[in-house]
Amino acid sequence: MNALAEELNRILADTCAGRLLSDSGARMYFPKGILSQSAEATEKAHRFNATIGMAFDHGEPMVLDAVKAHLPLLSRREAVAYAPTAGVNALREAWRSELLKKNPSLAKLKFSLPVVVPGLTAGISYLADLFVSAGDPVVVADMFWPNYRLIMEERKGARLSSYPFFNGAGGFNVDGLEAAARRAAEGRGKAVVILNYPNNPTGYTPTLVEADAIKAALIRVAESGIDLLVVSDDAYFGLQYEEGILRESLFARFADAHPRILAAKVDGPTKEDYVWGFRGGFVTFASVGMDDHTYNALVRKLMGVIRSSISNSAAPTQYILLKAMTDPGFEVQKAQFRAILEGRYKRVKKFLAANTWPTGFLPLPFNSGYFMCFQCQGFSAEALRLKLLEEQGIGTISIQDTWLRVAFSSVEEDEVDELFTMIFEAAQSMTGS
């Protein structure tokens, strides 16, 4: 094993982060190579800097006019220069400030400086590189984002260990989560749990009571001697439409929950700031007993994963986001878009309340995000999807041939009734009642 990896492992040895590392995570380090030497040169090479592999002209990166013309508000460096491996530092600091604003419970807690990754998918994948080995179970609810399977099972050789998302009362299944976490840790002494709220595909966010129960349940697991990585996948953060449901990230609850719990937050501007194609995200860590020294070691391991895969995230989107976040209209414009989505959500709720549901076609609880789901009982969700697509020209998503996901986020509010009427008619034809 490389000496730099061994050094980081020694720093992390007495933390749950160190105990949770996968085989590849234990081997990972950030090399003292070209990038670190270039960083030193940037600071100290006051005469000539002949380190980094970029072409300069009179002290500025070369950039084609045909390219720069489309990025008029960015400097040459912002437009085409490499970003640091962990991301543009000013953006990392700005996102940290945003985390504190959105999650007041973090105010007095110590957590790592967010690291920039090329999208939330990459964030989940990089956490898998650090903490998931072949054969490991990864705990998810049975209604999960399908890319978890591709990342965990196909890329890492792990396996998803699921539990029913909803309990018999139509709320979040806290007991199922706790039992699944205990099963996953059997014989290993550790487990990885992914929590995704607002959830894709259900559009459900736990209530405040359920959020407290989730925290208490996983603390009980930790107190039994099990190390837990609790991943908060916050792709749809901030899109809650009802009172009494969780507004902060569960990351804020787990950041200081227990010395055997490492909390990891994966979030970003993709949905929060309506920049889906920017492919930008952040990974942030928190755990009781960790300090700047241990956080730095863990971040350097994450930087090693980034360096060994894409080297660094794209600079232009980072600088555009940073500038947008300081724009006086930024929050006002976000609030306007959020209000549009909430209007569509309420229109769906109103339709469901006013109409009789087809036999065997049950709308599941939802209160947030982009989506809602129907459970198909007695017929195939995939067959219904194909019927809607081929006969009505309506696109929906079937999941595990059991659930039909409808994204109200992409449908105009005044078209909601027409869409759902056609979906109901197609579902009714599947059973003839």
For 79-102, write each residue's pLDDT tens digit. Answer: 999 999 999 999 999 999 999 999
pLDDT at 256: 96
Residue range 118-143: average pLDDT? 97
For 33-55, write each residue's pLDDT tens digit. Answer: 666 666 666 667 666 677 778 88
Q: Of 43, 1, 45, which is closest to residue 21 (Cα–Cα)?
A: 1
pLDDT at 57: 84
pLDDT at 66 exceeding the cut of 70? yes
Residue range 122-149: average pLDDT? 97
Q: With bands split at pLDDT 50, 70 and 90, how would you rate the model's confidence at 103?
A: very high
- Burial letters 191-200, b for 16+ CB under 10 A, else e: bbbbbbbbbb
Residues 6+ apart with CB under 8 A from 187: none
Tell me the CA end-to-end span of the chain in Å, nearest whole number. 65
Residues 6+ apart with CB under 8 A from 279: 118, 119, 122, 270, 313, 314, 317
d(C-alpha 108, C-alpha 374), whole Å: 41
Distance of CA 14 to CAs 176, 203, 232, 291, Å? 30, 38, 23, 12
Angle, alpha carbons 252-253-258 (nearest 5°): 115
Angle, alpha carbons 148-287-240 (nearest 5°): 55
For 366-394, write each residue's pLDDT tens digit. Answer: 999 999 999 999 999 999 999 999 999 99
d(C-alpha 229, C-alpha 140), whole Å: 12
Residue range 43-72: average pLDDT? 82
The residue type found at 145 is W
Q: What does pTM read for this prediction? A: 0.94
pLDDT at 33: 64
Helices 330-354 and 416-431, interaxial angle, to 10°? 40
**pLDDT above 90 as % of the chain:** 92
Q: Of 281, 273, 280, which is closest to residue 333 (Cα–Cα)?
A: 273
For 282-296, write each residue's pLDDT tens digit. Answer: 999 999 999 999 999
pLDDT at 104 exceeding the cut of 60? yes
Q: What is the largest CA-CA distance in the chain?
A: 81
Residue range 107-130: average pLDDT? 97
d(C-alpha 195, C-alpha 301), whole Å: 23
Domains, the chain, ordered by start? 3-30+85-323 (3.40.640.10), 331-431 (3.90.1150.10)
d(C-alpha 236, C-alpha 56), whole Å: 40
d(C-alpha 154, C-alpha 134), whole Å: 10
Eight-state DSSP code of residue 206: -
3-class secondary-structure state, position 11 = helix
pLDDT at 135: 94
State the average pLDDT for the chain: 95
pLDDT at 40: 66
For 299-346, write each residue's pLDDT tens digit. Answer: 999 999 999 999 999 999 999 999 999 999 999 999 999 999 999 999
Residues 6+ apart with CB under 8 A from 359: 378, 428, 431, 433
**pLDDT above 70 as % of the chain:** 96
